[in-house]
């Protein structure tokens, strides 16, 4: 550290100044925010490039096919008078046509709004009243719920179905209505940099999701910053639907880098390894829950996955055991986790080769600033001091859609986004996430991290997944309780795991609330553990 409080890091492209980590400043051409025009040019310049291969059928989709399909959809949207500010919702699982209305929406300068395909009626009503989409493209399975939500909320939405549904116009129907001459002469609509490009929903782990808005300029910056998928002509695999920001960024970035995406509808450890081996996948993004299953299933040793160069994850913290185990199983591949938020536009940090801590989330990426603050005083903390992680970035959201109060509560007057995550950074600038501040438990005045207990449980060979939540206690405040999914065929008792928590972590962090074995851990639509649901389950267990 120099006298002026500024430290240079030769290993990673950032500096630390007055306890703020400042990522390298990388200029971006702010005039290139017209994503629709950029995509259309890529399609035109590389018409024969194989953009997508469907595992189920073997069908290949070329850029010229994507160009034709997206233009036809955009022409139909224009004829519905869709333009700037109009919300176009897309509710579907990963399937061959999901990209079409997304890119068409960007062509016409409207607002892309992806929904989860397993949305409940209650949540659908809330989201319908919030974003009030002018047009909604829906998969067959979700259509009934969505139509009922629109009726109950009195939202005049035009529904288009992927596939077929009685008396309902399909996406393919709308495309057939456009003439070849209209397709040939089509031009994207001019947009402003500050126009809203997309509304993504927050994770909703503690309540209803909020609408996270990004402008066309911040969307461009987000895609440009998503350099973990950076190599030209990569063979890519991911399972995130467009509902996740990772799914949207993967889809758009893969197109702009002329990559080939492998469309495999559902993750399964064995089948996924077969897909990687068959198609020579070199880049693989996977959720933390799925990566746990991949590691614990012990299938990696059965397949030659020599093509795999990068295995990346993000969304929640992985245990040290899983990260280190995967690196041993895949020594030729870079296995890394990143940290980010929908509100920041994607990634803020990512692990690099020179990271010393396997359970860290790495170093800040370019154009990101990060600090840890004392929650009570707002004081900026130094290395190895735990506090709330705050970030600044040119990719930051515009705000929460129609919710200025929530925006003010999240972004302060200096433009710092308060993440709600507890963490710290090391002297080398490596960032470590401890847990969600709201999920920290208090036992007799002691702070307990659920993740710390989960990590200890995950080290047991019989534990496939674990989630720890608090159970209220009249005297002690809260007791930690674990929900555990066992490895198929493995045997372990509640008493063993309670004893493990005590012996490895000490008396304070003992699982006094007990252990409940379950067939599945509940997750939110965004792929995070549904702690709200687990807390209700814990209360029910202890009420008996």
β-partners of residue 471 are 479
Least confident window among 278-287, 289-298, 438-447, 523-532: 523-532
For the chain, the straight-line distance linking the first and the last C-alpha, in angstroms and rounded, comes to 58
Q: How does 274-295 read in b/e, with b if 16+ C-beta sit within 10 Å?
A: bbbbebebbbbbbbbbbbbbbb
Please give the residue that has the higher pLDDT: either 145 or 324. Answer: 145
Domain annotation for the chain: domains and CATH numbers: 14-28+223-436 (3.40.50.12780), 62-192 (3.40.50.980), 441-542 (3.30.300.30)
Query: Would you call 108 exposed, middle or buried from its count of C-beta atoms within 10 A (0-12, 13-18, 19+)?
Result: buried
> Which among 262, 254, 267, 265 is positioned nearest to 280, based on CA atoms?
262
Cα separation, 262 vs 50, in Å, equals 10
Q: What is the C-alpha radius of gyration for the chain, rounded to an integer number of angstroms? A: 24
Helix (H) / strand (E) element for 543: namely helix 531-543
Is the CB of residue 21 less than 8 Å from the CB of residue 432?
A: no
Dihedral angle at the C-alpha atoms of 332, 333, 335, 339, nearest 10 degrees? Answer: 150
Q: Write down the pLDDT at residue 388.
A: 97
The alpha carbon dihedral of 372, 373, 379, 385 has a sign of negative
> Residue 1 above 70 pLDDT?
no
Q: Write down the pLDDT at residue 172.
A: 95
pLDDT tens-digit map of 105-135: 999 999 999 999 999 999 999 999 999 999 9
Strands (E) across 170-224 are located at 196-201, 211-215
> Residue 156 above 70 pLDDT?
yes
Is the CB of residue 19 less than 8 Å from the CB of residue 202?
A: no
Q: Write down the pLDDT at residue 384.
A: 96
User: Given the structure tokens 């720890």, which residue do they identify?
Assistant: 468
Cα separation, 284 vs 261, in Å, equals 10
Average pLDDT over residues 92-99: 95
> Residue 68 above 70 pLDDT?
yes
Average pLDDT over residues 138-154: 97
Q: Write down the pLDDT at residue 204.
A: 63
> Residue 543 above 90 pLDDT?
no
Cα separation, 183 vs 178, in Å, equals 7
Average pLDDT over residues 327-332: 91
Is the CB of residue 193 less than 8 Å from the CB of residue 217?
A: yes
Angle (nearest 5°) at CA 288 between 511 and 452: 25
Q: Write down the pLDDT at residue 97.
A: 97
Q: Write down the pLDDT at residue 38.
A: 94
Judging by DSSP bridges, how do beta strands 369-373 and 387-392 pair with one another?
Answer: antiparallel
Judging by DSSP bridges, how do beta strands 235-238 and 283-285 pair with one another?
Answer: parallel
pLDDT tens-digit map of 404-415: 999 999 999 999
> Residue 12 above 70 pLDDT?
no
DSSP H stretches of helix in 258-383: 269-279, 288-296, 320-329
Over the chain, what is the mean pLDDT? 91
Phi-psi region of 392 (alpha: psi -120 to 50; beta: other; left: phi over 0): beta
- Give the pair of three-digit tokens for residue 164: 């077929």
- Give the pair of three-digit tokens for residue 384: 């190895």
Cα separation, 411 vs 393, in Å, equals 12
Cα separation, 432 vs 363, in Å, equals 9
Q: Write down the pLDDT at residue 304.
A: 81
Q: Write down the pLDDT at residue 4.
A: 33
Q: Map residue 429 onto helix, strand or coil.
A: coil
Q: Write down the pLDDT at residue 427.
A: 95
What secondary structure does DSSP assign to 99-152, as a single string? HHHHHHHHHTT-EEEEE-TT--HHHHHHHHHHH--SEEEEEHHHHHHHHHHHHH
- Give the pair of three-digit tokens for residue 523: 């997750």
Average pLDDT over residues 370-390: 97
Least confident window among 64-68, 109-113, 150-154, 292-296: 292-296
Average pLDDT over residues 249-269: 94
pLDDT tens-digit map of 218-239: 999 888 877 665 567 899 999 9
- Residue 462 has phi, psi (to 5 degrees) of -90, -5
> Residue 208 above 90 pLDDT?
no
Cα separation, 218 vs 199, in Å, equals 12
Among residues of the chain, what percentage have pLDDT more than 70? 96
- Across the chain, how many H-helices and E-strands are there? 16, 28
Cα–chain-centroid distance for residue 429? Answer: 24
- Residue 128 has phi, psi (to 5 degrees) of -65, -45
Q: Write down the pLDDT at residue 229.
A: 59
Q: Write down the pLDDT at residue 6.
A: 35
**Confidence class for position 353, pLDDT limits 50, 70, 90:** confident
Average pLDDT over residues 163-183: 95
Q: Write down the pLDDT at residue 419.
A: 94
- Give the pair of three-digit tokens for residue 441: 């438990």
β-partners of residue 192 are none
Is the CB of residue 288 less than 8 Å from the CB of residue 316?
A: yes
Average pLDDT over residues 498-519: 95
Angle (nearest 5°) at CA 505 between 499 and 511: 50
Q: Write down the pLDDT at residue 436.
A: 86
Average pLDDT over residues 357-368: 91
């Amino acid at each position: 550290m120099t006298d002026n409080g500024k430290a240079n890091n030769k290993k990673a492209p950032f500096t630390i100044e007055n306890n703020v980590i400042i990522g390298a400043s990388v200029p971006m051409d702010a005039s290139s925010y017209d994503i629709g025009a950029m995509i259309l040019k890529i399609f035109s310049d590389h018409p024969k490039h194989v953009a997508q291969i469907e595992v189920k059928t073997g069908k290949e989709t070329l850029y010229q096919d994507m160009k034709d399909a997206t233009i036809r959809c955009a022409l139909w949207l224009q004829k519905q008078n869709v333009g700037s500010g109009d919300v176009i919702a897309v509710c579907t699982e990963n399937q061959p046509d999901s990209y079409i209305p997304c890119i068409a929406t960007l062509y016409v300068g409207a607002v892309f709004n992806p929904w989860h395909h397993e949305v409940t009626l209650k949540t659908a009503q809330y989201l319908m009243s919030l974003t009030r989409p002018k047009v909604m493209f829906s998969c067959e399975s979700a259509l009934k719920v969505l139509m009922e939500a629109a009726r109950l909320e009195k939202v005049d939405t035009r529904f288009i179905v992927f596939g077929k549904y009685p008396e309902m116009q399909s996406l393919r129907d709308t495309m057939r209505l456009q003439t070849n001459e209209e397709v040939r002469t089509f031009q994207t609509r001019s947009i402003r940099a500050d126009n809203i490009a997309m509304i993504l929903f927050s994770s909703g782990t503690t309540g209803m999701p909020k609408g996270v808005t990004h402008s066309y300029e911040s969307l461009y910056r987000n895609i440009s910053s998503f350099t973990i998928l950076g190599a030209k002509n990569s063979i890519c695999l991911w399972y995130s639907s467009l509902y996740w920001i990772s799914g949207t960024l993967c889809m758009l970035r893969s197109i702009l880098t002329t990559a080939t995406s492998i469309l495999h509808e559902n993750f399964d450890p064995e089948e996924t390894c077969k897909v990687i081996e068959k198609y020579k996948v070199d880049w693989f993004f996977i959720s933390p829950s799925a990566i746990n299953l991949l590691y614990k299933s012990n299938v990696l040793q059965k397949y030659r996955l020599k093509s795999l160069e990068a295995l990346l994850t993000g969304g929640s913290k992985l245990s040290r055991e899983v990260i280190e185990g995967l690196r041993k199983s895949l020594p030729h591949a870079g296995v890394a986790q990143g940290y980010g938020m929908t509100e920041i536009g994607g990634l803020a940090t990512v692990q690099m080769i020179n990271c010393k801590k396997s359970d860290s989330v790495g170093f800040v990426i370019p154009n990101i600033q990060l600090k840890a603050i004392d929650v009570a005083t707002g004081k900026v903390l130094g290395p190895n001091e735990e506090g709330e992680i705050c970030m600044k970035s040119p990719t930051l959201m515009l705000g929460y859609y129609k919710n200025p109060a929530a925006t003010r509560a999240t972004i302060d007057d200096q433009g710092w986004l308060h993440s709600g995550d507890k963490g710290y950074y090391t002297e080398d600038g490596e960032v470590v996430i401890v847990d969600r501040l709201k999920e920290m438990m208090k036992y007799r005045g002691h702070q307990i991290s659920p993740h710390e207990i989960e990590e200890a449980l995950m080290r047991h060979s019989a534990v496939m997944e674990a989630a720890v939540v608090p159970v209220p206690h009249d005297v002690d405040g809260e007791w930690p309780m674990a929900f555990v999914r066992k490895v198929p065929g493995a045997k372990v008792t509640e008493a063993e795991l309670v004893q493990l928590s005590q012996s490895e972590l000490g008396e304070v962090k003992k699982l006094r609330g007990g252990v409940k074995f379950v067939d599945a851990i509940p997750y939110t639509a965004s792929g995070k553990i549904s702690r709200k649901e687990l807390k209700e389950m814990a209360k029910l267990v202890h009420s008996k």
